[in-house]
Chains A and B, each alone.
Chain A
Amino acid sequence: MRRPLEIAAGLGLTWLALQASGTAIAAPTEPAPFALDDSGMKTAAVPVASYTLRASLDPAKHTIDGKGTLLWRNASSQPQREVWVHLYLNAFKSEHTLFMRFPGAESFRGGGTPAEWGNITVKRLAIHDGEDLWAGADKTSPGDPDDETDIRVPLPAPVAPGEEVRFDLEFEARLPTLLFRTGYSDGFYMVGQWFPKLARLEPDGRWAHFAFHHLSEFYADFGDYDVTVDTPADMIVGATGEPREEVREGGHVARRFVARSVHDFAFTAWSKFREITAVGAGNVAVRVLFPPGYDRAAAVERDSVLFGLDHLGEAYGHYPYPTLTVVHPPPGAEEAGGMEYPTLITTGGYWWLPWTAVPALDIVTIHELGHQWFYGLVATDEHAFPFLDEGVNSYAEAEAMEARAGAASAANILGLRVSLDAVDRLGGVDTERNAPVAQAAPDFATGGDYGGLVYQRTAILLRTLGNVYGADRVRLAVGRYARRYRFEHPGPEQLIEAFRDAVGEDAATQLRAALFDRATVDYTVADLTSTDAAERGAPAGAVGGFHGSVLVRRRGALRFPVDVDMMGEDGTVQRVRWDAAESSARLPYHGKSRLTAAVIDPEHRVLLDDDLSNNARRLSPSRLSGALLERFAFATSAALSAVLP
């Protein structure tokens, strides 16, 4: 999930800079020797938790009556005497829940207090045609009497490994006013996390269950979903899965959606939706639902999805589902925006964004679409290691946006091109010492830490590895990881292993250190000196010219080889490679003219570098640039002309 417009907001200050264009940062221009293909990739998940539900939306009461069955298979190696059920909607039951108690709730992914609270009431959970088990279930989350999102349900008899159990389900979901992805707003419904959802059972027999935390997302087993959504007849519905039958009766429409190999189901309903459709790579039926007046925004989102299905499919394995629904929530329902569900994503943003310098709609669409892989297909534990979905997906987003918009992947303001890498560096560097990247969502102290470390630092970490060791190698690593672990719920070790295989031991070592050990790096040019050999009284016949050195330092535990440029007074540039194995080195200089400047990592390949201002040194630093001052003065004079007497 990405907050809509966060990129636009992050770029506001760039208006301080004026327009520019010209010299390019040389991107690594390697051939693409590494092939990625989908042969051998799984085409479907082995179902573990499959739901057949009927959901009846009552817009007068803002409730959903749910009824159906859950077919669950014990896919672990251990017999199970209990199951764990997530009742995510109970996070919005009161201000006392774990979710609502988070102190930084309003600073990340929206929040606040809903005008109307929501909750879910389980009326029946029983083994098929058997006794109700819900009466014997725990009433609250473990160790938290104010939270009811993580419920243990004892079973009447152990379920052996491989054994299947069919549960009957009956529940009522009362939706809150729109808050944090779920709820209603002025007739619009975004219905996510609305049914009792079984936690994932790990292969070792451990349930990956957790109370719903503000910074956490979800984790579940794959299954097949067959859901019939019953709404008033005037409502247009978008949902996870492929639409099947549609039955109209008594002012209502019951629409059946079927989704194979997914781990969640969400739907939206609104009577005012407009719709455009397209067909994407792999014959995917793309449907964009949007508010009246947002035609241009919807077209941008459709185009981004078509690009993304192609580009991301090639990079991480083809998109395996027949449908993809894009929902642009209406004004007032912004909190439903920027979210991912299997085969359904929500975007967001103002109708006029297509006419601005910031491709916010493309970015949010590509990001949410990327989650179809890094969350959807590579279904990692979003609670335990959120960087595996949000972080790897932010890398995928930056890579895809670079392919789509080049150096202007985040903005193009009068020719001044700003990349997502530059934007991601802001949070990724600022938060680097606050916490490890690879930790559970509730362990982050603030939303800012979570955003900076999980999204941005992971993104610039993977981009740095690509810049240093080869973008194609990193694409190969992530592409192999995504294909190999499709439907497999991998963890951090599988990602690191993929890097070891495709990029090398050194890259895997840096990756692990940066993820788990808060490792950082700061390159600096500490000193430069050169003298004229003749002045030093070189003996006759000795090599003339200038001799000197550049003292470079690497602070921090991360170690990436870098280029160092040494510039002579005559304009010549000598480039040397420093492996940065030691924390400092004196690099020799021999040239025809005096050494006047040195730059370490001149192309900013190491995006993780703490501080770029110390990456260069010159004999006579420029205290103030006349050109920059002139631009600023022009802008100021022009602005003041409106108010000066």
Chain B
Amino acid sequence: MTPDLVPPRDESPAAHRHPGLVAFAYGYRALVGILVALPAAAVIGAATTSWPHGQSELFAPGGVLLLESLRLARRGIPAAVYSGGAIAAVALLAGVVPLGALLAGLGRRGRAPLAFLASLAAAHAGTLALLFGLGALAQGIVAAVAVLLGSKVLDLLALASPGDDLAFLALFAVVLALVCVVGVLRDLAAVAAVHGELRFYLAASRALRTARMAAGRALGAWAWRSALGLGGVVVAAGLSPSLASTTTARVLLGVALHQGAILGVTFAHASWLAAAMRLHHATEPEAPEAPEEPAPPAPATAGSESD
């Protein structure tokens, strides 16, 4: 990469200054969603391919054709789940590349060339994969330990229903929160890896430092953006037009609502990563003071005292 083509680092990155990158990340999510959903949609919709109104028949009140479709699709559903699952697994693995590109682009001022983004994404793919793999493992361990300890405590409390159910719900919320905290740490490490150009161990250390110095800000920055993204999805799901009477306008309205929500989630994620970068900078260890340069030796003169 020719050095003059590399945009300068952005000390205060923001997602809204990179709509192209957000669109790219959204495109990846949307594509993965379609690919994963395709087998299931095909299998479940197969029963109504000959019906005049197609799959909108599935959603008629009473659900007779819907349950009939599920009944007839039983043999195909495992195949759809396996193939959809396999696509999702590949998408998860491959997802480190678009993430690397997103992180690389967010951390630069202006529009970064594609080749630059690609090279940085490729360069950090290994570290990011390691971070996400070990992050998932850590999330699993944290969740398991929390569930075990929480269950022990609940057993000791010996609550009666409905108190026991509410306590389990609270435990679930705690476990979910802990898993999210680990996720936040992982994201901070990913930022450090790409934005700070660090390898796995140093990136993880750097994430811990950021967390130690700005835990509240990091969690807050992640939490409100995630809540907004989730809220958008819930609202979009709730406002979705019925599929019982499919018209082009209704389908388009549904597409706009749903894809708008997914775009919103993607933007919230990018915005969080940009915030994580700002935190990365804010908690950067101060550079050690450069030692004072020794004064140039005075020209030797006759009769000098230095001697």
Contacts and interface: CB of A to CB of B under 8 A. Distances in A.
A624 B44 CA distance: 10
Contact of A17 (B58, B71, B265): B58
B141 interface: no
A638 B37 contact: no
A604 B62 contact: yes
A430 B243 contact: no
24 contacts: A14-B66, A19-B240, A21-B59, A21-B242, A352-B165, A416-B63, A422-B63, A422-B64, A422-B66, A425-B71, A611-B68, A612-B47, A613-B46, A616-B52, A618-B51, A624-B45, A625-B48, A634-B236, A634-B237, A634-B262, A636-B33, A636-B84, A640-B32, A640-B88
Interface in A571-610: 596-597, 599, 604, 607
A600 to B, nearest CB: 11
Interface of B: 29-30, 32-34, 36-38, 40-42, 44-52, 54-56, 58-72, 84, 88, 91-92, 95-96, 98-99, 128, 132, 160-165, 190, 229, 233, 236-238, 240, 242-246, 251, 254-255, 258-259, 261-262, 265-266, 269
A415 B243 CA distance: 11
B64 A416 contact: no
A457 to B, nearest CB: 14
A637 B32 contact: yes
B88 A20 contact: no
B33 A617 contact: no
B177 to A, nearest CB: 14
A628 B64 contact: no
Interface stretch (A22-30, A230-238, A298-306): A22-30
B283 to A, nearest CB: 23
A19 B237 contact: yes
Contacts of A18: 59, 237, 240, 243
A466 to B, nearest CB: 14
Interface of A, helix, strand, loop or mixed by DSSP: mixed
A627 interface: yes
Contact of A417 (B41, B62, B245): B62
Contacts, number: 251
A627 B55 contact: yes
B63 A626 contact: no
Contact of A22 (B34, B45, B242): B242
A640 B55 CA distance: 25
Given A612-B47, A627-B254, A20 B161 contact: no
Contacts of A622: 49, 54-55
Contacts of A565: 52
A629 B38 contact: yes
Given A407-B63, A613-B48, A645-B128, 6 more contacts: A18-B240, A22-B244, A414-B238, A612-B47, A616-B48, A636-B37
A413 to B, nearest CB: 9
Q: Which 8 A-B pairs have the closest CB atoms?
A: A637-B33, A20-B59, A22-B244, A632-B37, A418-B63, A625-B55, A634-B258, A407-B61
**Most-contacted residue by chain A among B68, B254, B262, B266 (CB, 10 A):** B68
A425 B33 contact: no
Interface of A: 13-14, 16-25, 291-294, 330-331, 350-352, 406-408, 410-411, 414-419, 421-423, 425-426, 429-430, 525, 565, 567, 596-597, 599, 604, 607, 611-618, 621-638, 640-641, 643-645
A426 B238 CA distance: 28
Contacts of A613: 46-48, 50, 68-69, 72
Contact of B254 (A330, A616, A630): A630
A625 B54 contact: yes
Contacts of A626: 251
Q: Which residue among A18, A22, A596, A635 has the maximum number of chain B CB atoms within 10 Å of its CB?
A: A22
A288 B132 CA distance: 54
A16 B229 contact: no
A645 B243 CA distance: 32
B123 to A, nearest CB: 16
A21 B244 CA distance: 6
A640 B50 contact: no
Contacts of B162: 293-294, 351-352
A625 B45 contact: yes
A406 B61 CA distance: 9
Given A22-B242, A293-B162, A429-B71, A628 B51 contact: no
Contacts of A611: 68, 72
A628 B45 contact: yes
A421 B62 contact: yes
Given A293-B160, A627-B251, A418 B48 contact: no
Given A627-B246, A640-B32, A645-B132, A599 B66 contact: no
